[in-house]
């Protein structure tokens, strides 16, 4: 755990830098708010409707695909760590990889076949 | 741990943080002058010699500008978003191995903020936290352009995280460790007496995947869909002004530095000079501490080369469309990453593990 002390230290420095920039920028700048200045930027016209309008469902689709594929991809990491050492035991982890990749590829094939990538 | 240890720790952390923090103004200058060079115009050349003080002038101007919060904005999230993107960008540099080690005050000091044994996972995990800053910033701005930019940014960054991870998995399988320091140490010397023992010769496809994915991860030009100034004004930071906008830029350049550093460590020998083994370099220089300094310079030079490549690509290659962007990663990069992994594993099995 001792290795993580410098990381916490770095986190402290980063928080100090980020918050001091925020405070300085607020403190040093002039404050002359105008209704027009504070309106949402919409290329010169008045903004219509809610800024949080419903958005395209393709983003939702990407999120679902990410959840599936990234969880699968995360399982490669422990495999990679022990693979080099396991070679002395024969090809057992290679066989495991081939089986796992087959499942992975099946999922990816399904995504492509279902036309999930036509994200226009 | 006594006081000297703690002082060394604080000094070391601060030193490396400041090094990466100072890449930001240099990169602003390199980016603007590089763009000018490629587009055949002079670029910023008024402030200081060759316009070198332009980033300082930019900073002063940013910090003295008004800091407006739009009326439609969610104030809390709007304020916290730039900090949320800058802090993860600062944190990832903790695992970069700038050099081997030096001996000071009777102690061996690693030239690295923290030698974590899960360094690669750490980079991937903390690096993807920056997406919260983008998403909060875009959502809280109360602007349609910002929301569109934030959504595109998040879907792009999460999609390209997978090929990035798969490329890293290839390197991990070859070296059998997650620690960036051990990976760098394994790349010292030559194969067959003429080929540098670098990761790119073991994982050429992995490097290519990592390289492409890193452009998308840092929202750089061939994949800068979140910003697309021609369609979305400035994407998720449209409503940000003053130094809050500057913080987004800082985070971008710090991410760029970190990802270049990881790339150098995984695939380009880290702090090692090509064709010159560390032991030989030590014999020429004669001092372990001086060698450490030289190693930091070598590492930073390699990172600088990559940063210049990023600038060069940004001003040369046109932007992809969103569906093309998604098809590249889901249809090409991820299958390629898996095939790369299979081939790597197969070759390692065939060779019985390389020594």
CB of A27 less than 8 A from some CB of B? no
Count Cβ neighbours within 10 Å for each residue of B35-73 and write b for 16 or more, e otherwise. bbeeeeeebbeeeeeebebbbeebbeebbebebbbbebb
For residue A16, the distance in angstroms to the closest alpha carbon of chain B comes to 10
The fraction of chain A above a pLDDT of 90, given in percent, is 6
For residue B37, the distance in angstroms to the closest alpha carbon of chain A comes to 31
Tell me if A22 and B166 make a contact (CB, 8 A cut-off): no
Task: Give, for B218, the enclosing helix (H) or strand (E).
Answer: none
**Contacting A residues, span 78-107, partner chain B, CB-CB under 8 Å:** 79-85, 87-88, 91, 93-94, 97-98, 101, 104-105
Per DSSP bridges, beta strands B107-110 and B190-191 are: unpaired
pLDDT recorded at residue B260:
92
**Contacting B residues, span 135-164, partner chain A, CB-CB under 8 Å:** 139, 141-148, 151, 154-155, 158-159, 161-162
**Is residue A99 over pLDDT 80?**
yes
* Across B325-334, average pLDDT: 85
By the 8 A CB rule, do B97 and B184 touch?
yes
| Cα B290 from chain centre | 26
Tell me if B79 and A17 make a contact (CB, 8 A cut-off): no
* Across B291-297, average pLDDT: 87
pLDDT recorded at residue B301:
92
By the 8 A CB rule, do A8 and B12 touch?
no
The residue ranges of every structural domain in chain B are 3-351
Residues on chain B touching A80 (C-beta within 8 angstroms):
169-170, 172-173
For residue A7, the distance in angstroms to the closest alpha carbon of chain B comes to 6
pLDDT recorded at residue B348:
85
- What does the DSSP 8-state code read for residue B277? -
For residue B90, the distance in angstroms to the closest alpha carbon of chain A comes to 6
CB of B21 less than 8 A from some CB of A? yes
pLDDT recorded at residue B139:
85
Task: Copy the structure tokens of residue B173.
Answer: 């399988």
Percentages helix, strand, coil for chain A (3-state, rounded to 5) are: 65, 0, 35
pLDDT digits (tens, 9 = 90+) for A64-80: 888 888 888 888 888 88
CB of A46 less than 8 A from some CB of B? no
By the 8 A CB rule, do B173 and A84 touch?
yes
**Is residue B120 over pLDDT 60?**
yes
For residue B2, the distance in angstroms to the closest alpha carbon of chain A comes to 14
Instruction: Give the confidence band of A120 by pLDDT, cuts at 50, 70, 90.
Output: low
Cα distance between residue B23 and residue A114, in whole Å: 45
Tell me if B93 and A10 make a contact (CB, 8 A cut-off): yes
pLDDT recorded at residue B261:
92
**Is residue B212 over pLDDT 60?**
yes
Residues on chain A touching B68 (C-beta within 8 angstroms):
33, 37-38
Residues on chain B touching A59 (C-beta within 8 angstroms):
151, 154-155
CB of B217 less than 8 A from some CB of A? no
How far the first Cα of chain B sits from its last, in Å, is 37
Does B29 or A57 have the greater pLDDT score? B29
Query: What is the tally of structural domains in chain A?
Result: 1
For residue B208, the distance in angstroms to the closest alpha carbon of chain A comes to 18
Per the rule left: phi > 0, alpha: psi between -120 and 50, beta: everything else, A49 is left
Nearest CA to B84 among B237, B219, B228, B258? B237
pLDDT recorded at residue B339:
92
pLDDT recorded at residue B305:
92
CATH number at residue A17: 1.20.58.1610
Mutate to test the interface with A, among B7, B77, B82, B90 (most CBs of A within 10 A): B90
Residue A119 lies in a domain: no
CB of A5 less than 8 A from some CB of B? yes
Vertex B343: Cα angle to B337 and B347 (nearest 5): 145
**Is residue A48 over pLDDT 80?**
no
pLDDT digits (tens, 9 = 90+) for B138-163: 888 878 888 888 888 888 888 888 89
Residue of B nearest to A19 (CA): B83
Cα distance between residue B326 and residue A118, in whole Å: 9
Quick check: helix, strand or coil at residue B107?
strand
* Across B290-307, average pLDDT: 89
pLDDT recorded at residue A119:
61
pLDDT recorded at residue B242:
81
Nearest CA to B20 among B308, B294, B260? B260
Q: Given the structure tokens 């003295």, which residue do they identify? A: B64
The pLDDT mean for chain B works out to: 85
Instruction: State the residue range of the domain holding A31.
Output: 2-113
| Cα A104 from chain centre | 20
Task: Copy the structure tokens of residue A97.
Answer: 């990889």
Task: Copy the structure tokens of residue A111.
Answer: 């995504």
Q: Identify the weakest region by mean pLDDT among A49-63, B94-108, B192-206, B334-348.
A: A49-63
For residue A9, the distance in angstroms to the closest alpha carbon of chain B comes to 7
Residue of A nearest to B116 (CA): A3
Residues on chain B touching A109 (C-beta within 8 angstroms):
none
Instruction: Give the confidence band of B355 by pLDDT, cuts at 50, 70, 90.
Output: very low
pLDDT digits (tens, 9 = 90+) for B60-84: 888 888 888 888 778 888 888 888 8
Cα distance between residue B254 and residue B244, in whole Å: 15
CB of B63 less than 8 A from some CB of A? yes
């Amino acid at each position: 755990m001792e290795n993580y002390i410098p990381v916490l230290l770095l986190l402290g420095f980063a928080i100090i830098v980020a918050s001091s920039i925020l405070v300085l920028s607020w403190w040093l700048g002039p404050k002359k708010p105008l209704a027009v200045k504070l309106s949402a930027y919409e290329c010169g016209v008045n903004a219509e409707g809610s800024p949080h309008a419903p958005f395209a469902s393709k983003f939702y689709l990407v999120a679902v695909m990410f959840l599936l594929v990234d969880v699968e991809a995360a399982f490669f990491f422990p495999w990679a760590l022990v693979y080099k050492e396991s070679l002395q035991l024969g090809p057992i982890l290679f066989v495991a990889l081939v089986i796992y990749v087959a499942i992975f590829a099946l999922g990816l094939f399904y995504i492509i076949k279902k036309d999930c990538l036509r994200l226009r | 741990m006594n006081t000297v240890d703690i002082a060394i720790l604080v000094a070391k952390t601060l030193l490396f943080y400041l090094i990466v923090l100072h890449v930001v103004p240099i990169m602003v200058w390199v980016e603007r002058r590089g763009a000018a060079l490629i587009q055949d115009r002079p670029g910023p050349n008024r402030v200081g010699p060759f316009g070198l003080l332009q980033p300082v002038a930019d900073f002063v101007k940013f910090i003295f500008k008004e800091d407006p919060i739009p009326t439609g904005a969610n104030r809390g999230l709007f304020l916290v978003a730039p900090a949320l993107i800058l802090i993860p960008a600062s944190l990832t540099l903790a695992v970069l191995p700038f050099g081997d080690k030096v001996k000071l005050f009777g102690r061996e000091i690693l030239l690295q903020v923290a030698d974590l044994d899960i360094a690669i996972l750490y980079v991937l995990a903390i690096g993807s936290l920056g997406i919260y800053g983008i998403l909060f910033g875009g959502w809280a701005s109360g602007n349609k352009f910002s929301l569109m930019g934030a959504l595109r940014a998040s879907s792009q960054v999460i999609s390209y995280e997978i090929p990035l991870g798969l490329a890293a998995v290839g390197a991990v399988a070859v070296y059998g460790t997650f620690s960036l320091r051990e990976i760098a140490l394994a790349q010292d010397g030559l194969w067959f007496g003429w080929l540098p023992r670098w990761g790119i010769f073991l994982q050429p496809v992995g490097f290519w995947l990592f390289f492409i994915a890193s452009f998308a991860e840092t929202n750089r030009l061939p994949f800068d869909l979140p910003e697309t100034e021609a369609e979305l004004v400035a994407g998720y930071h449209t409503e940000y002004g003053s130094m809050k906008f500057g913080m987004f830029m800082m985070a971008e350049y710090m991410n760029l530095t970190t990802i270049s550093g990881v790339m150098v460590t995984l695939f380009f020998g880290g702090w090692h000079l090509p064709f010159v083994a560390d032991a030989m370099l030590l014999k020429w220089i004669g001092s372990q501490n001086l060698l450490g300094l030289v190693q930091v310079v070598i590492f930073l030079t390699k990172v600088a080369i990559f940063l210049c490549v990023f600038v060069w690509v940004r001003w040369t290659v046109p932007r992809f469309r969103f569906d093309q962007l998604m098809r590249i990663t889901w249809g090409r990069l991820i299958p390629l990453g898996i095939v790369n992994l299979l081939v790597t594993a197969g070759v390692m099995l065939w060779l019985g593990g390389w020594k």
